[in-house]
Structure 1
Amino acid sequence: MAYPHDAIVFDPRDIDLSRSPLAGKVDAETYVLGAFNPGLTRLPNGNLLMMVRVAEALRQPIRDAHIHAIRWDDGRYVLDAWPLTLVDTSDPRKFMMRGGGWRVMALTSLSWLLPVELDADGRRVVAVHCDRAIVPREPYQCYGVEDARISRIDGRYYMTTCSVSPERHSTTLYSSDDALDWTLHGIVLDHQNKDMLLFEGKVDGAFWAQTRPLGDLYFAYPPDSPWRAGPSINLATSPDALHWKPHDRPGIRPHAATTATARMGGGAPPVLAEVDGQRGWLTLWHGVEPSGVVGIYRTYWTLLDEHDPSRTIATSHAPLLEPAPELTAPLADLMYLDDVVFTTGVVDGGAHWIVASGEADLACRITHVPKEALTAGA
């Protein structure tokens, strides 16, 4: 589907690495592997803020028969080295350790978050706030801070991020009065719980969130079930946004009738909206079709009941957004991945939704989706 505005607004070429938090602190040349997966919110001044994930990688990670990676260690950045004979480097974003009784990986980059201010409609960059970058501060963030999602609740901004370390693959929470100066509150969800999205508003006085626990084992649905076993979008509630109880009823699950959403996870924080005359929580999420190394990522939408978000009241089985190779064609020399659009934010733009996505794990894409484009059953 063609939209009235659909463009790359920020990419690795827009980052001045001399102002990176790693500048002068790593004894090797680095480059920006990707500037992508931006959290999105509206600032008090009316402009938009993207919290961009910057994946900063070593220019030459392989040397002397070893592969190297960056790690934060108590305020400094160090390089670790593993013999090439011990790793699998088929995925450019990570390398897997061979052997052992379970999967162990390391990253080819270290991620930090860069606040990028856009104009009110998300068409152009107004400012890049390098002095407000979010960087590792605790041991549970030693391999980086990834994939911010921002929600404004009762006048305060809340930001979830994925923190990566050998200790755990956890969700951490920040809060702010202005979306520029953030306070870290620590871990709120433990090991391998990705894509935590806080609803932009409370339900009966409680915070609600979508979560996505990961694991290597799932139990089968009955043969005639409409659902497919595997990663799904779950729900949790909290009195204070810090202490979370998983909701007893499931959230959004993969359909057995298609492989296009065989894997799924949360995208943009749910917002109150009206679709086809029905009011509820609009959630944009990603479905992954198995293909190649990482699969094909697309964005879908679902409308959840305003008072019981475990109940779906409308959805579309056709994707809202698909990967757009024409948008990344000017970045062909920087591409290392394709077939990925990963939506991470949505803001009301009046007659349209302003949707922020990571495109090809490389750049930030802003799409204006007319509200009438969301039609149930499409």
Structure 2
Amino acid sequence: MTDKLIFTPDDVDLARSPLRRGITEPTYVLGAFNPGFTRLPNGNLLMMVRVAEALVDPVRDGNVRAIRWTPAGYVLDAHPLTQVDMRDPRQFRIRGGTHRILALTSLSWLLPVELDGAGDRIVAVHYDRAIEPAASYQDYGVEDARISRIGDIWYMTTCSVSAERHCTTLHTSTDGLNYALRGIVLDHQNKDMILFEGLVGGRFMALTRPLGEVYFAYPDDSPFVGGPSINLAQSPDALHWRPLDAPGIRARKGSTSAMKIGGGTQPVLTDAGWLMIYHGVEAQESVGIYRSFWALLDRDDPSSILRIEDDTPLLEAAPALTAPIAHKMYLPTPVVFTTGLVDAGDHYLVASGEADLACRLTRLSKDLFA
């Protein structure tokens, strides 16, 4: 296994940020992380990097300010400090309402970063093809791309954030680089939607991870624990989705990372079945410790789990990688969030977000999954 940070906040040119249409105050890159990952027709690799851009001075005149997209450009909304809880560096909570209401400390947009075919170096950063909010259901940002190539089309899911809803949106491309927004495909707080990289029984298949305010208890003798888990859904056209009746991957009581789990890489078909890497979270402080695990699903019935490795992490946070940029760290716990996988012959190239800060690229031998 070899590891490196391939793209960091210092690699982003904020002079070319879409936020310059309206935001004249100084901003910085809170993180350049969680990249969707695919191979382009020319053989090069593409990372669709989430750039979380924040104000250098968010607090002014007794208010904390949040960035919001509008059709006319980007604006700042002020929230009185007396009405917010700012303990989480990624978001702040609005006090006093009936429901849990959040605002973000940054606004995210997506930056295509092209690597050479081996993943050794950056060959181009495509600011002219950046993806930013384009509708009112995205006015607080576009986050965490996942890319699957199915036939001659690249399908990219993203999380779109707004006061209207926190939903999953779909973009498609015929060349892997230029993407068109197709709209909302899953509604409120269904995160980590990832299309399988191929059809199953002539239909599109996807991992989903619906969130809720309430979860119900399993019986005492169950191996599972209640909470966010990975479900499955199918579609005739990648736009209209029906959840499968059978459960997918659930957090197991014996695992150290059972606080919540969610999809990571696009499932890819191997001789043994659908290989996927997913994340599990161990409860600690406000964020939790994120690690990557893997599972193998049946090629004809992905609800049938052939193998799951949730005892020993496949990937954990690597402080040595972020040591040169440790002064930019803001999370209280170790985090690796795996988001894409590409076949590279005798090994896989795996893209992850490291510490919600930078893009990590890992070479994993296929023998690890034997």
TM-score category, normalised to shorter length: over 0.9
TM-score by length of 1: 0.96
Q: 1:55 aligns with which of 52, 57, 69?
A: 52
Residue 259 of structure 1 and its aligned partner are, at CA, apart by 3.5
Q: 2:284 aligns with which of 273, 276, 291?
A: 291
1:130 and 1:260 mapped to 2: Cα distance?
37
Residue 99 of structure 1 and its aligned partner are, at CA, apart by 2.0
Q: 1:22 is paired with a residue of what secondary structure?
A: helix
Amino acid at match of 1:123: D
Q: Which runs of 5+ in 1 are unaligned?
A: none
- 5 Å-filtered alignment, 1:299-310, equals 299-310=292-303
Contact 1:69 1:80 in 2 (8 A): yes
Residue 28 of structure 1 and its aligned partner are, at CA, apart by 1.4
Contact 1:345 1:357 in 2 (8 A): yes
2:340 and 2:255 mapped to 1: Cα distance?
25
- Per the alignment, residue 327 of structure 1 pairs with 321
2:96 and 2:267 mapped to 1: Cα distance?
41
- 5 Å-filtered alignment, 1:362-377, equals 362-375=357-370
Aligned positions, number: 368
TM-score by length of 2: 0.98
Q: Deviations over 1:208-258 (max 9, x none)?
A: 000000001011111110010000000000000000001000000000123
Residue 319 of structure 1 and its aligned partner are, at CA, apart by 0.7
- Per the alignment, residue 352 of structure 2 pairs with 357
Q: Percent identity?
A: 64
Residue 24 of structure 1 and its aligned partner are, at CA, apart by 4.9
- 5 Å-filtered alignment, 1:225-240, equals 225-240=222-237
Q: Deviations over 1:147-183 (max 9, x none)?
A: 0000000121000000000000000001000111111
Amino acid at match of 2:315: L
Residue 80 of structure 1 and its aligned partner are, at CA, apart by 0.3
2:255 and 2:205 mapped to 1: Cα distance?
29
Q: 2:307 aligns with which of 287, 299, 314?
A: 314
Residue 7 of structure 1 and its aligned partner are, at CA, apart by 0.3
Q: 2:83 aligns with which of 86, 95, 108?
A: 86
- Per the alignment, residue 34 of structure 1 pairs with 31
Q: 2:262 aligns with which of 258, 262, 265?
A: 265
Cα RMSD between the aligned structures? 0.9
2:294 and 2:17 mapped to 1: Cα distance?
35
- Per the alignment, residue 338 of structure 2 pairs with 343
Q: 2:264 is paired with a residue of what secondary structure?
A: strand
Contact 1:255 1:262 in 2 (8 A): no
Q: 1:235 is paired with a residue of what secondary structure?
A: strand
Amino acid at match of 2:339: T
2:3 and 2:92 mapped to 1: Cα distance?
33
Q: 1:269 is paired with a residue of what secondary structure?
A: coil
Q: 1:205 is paired with a residue of what secondary structure?
A: coil
- Per the alignment, residue 180 of structure 1 pairs with 177
- 5 Å-filtered alignment, 1:23-172, equals 23-172=20-169
2:232 and 2:341 mapped to 1: Cα distance?
19
1:182 and 1:15 mapped to 2: Cα distance?
20
Q: Which runs of 4+ in 1 moved over 3 A?
A: none
Amino acid at match of 1:244: W
1:75 and 1:110 mapped to 2: Cα distance?
16
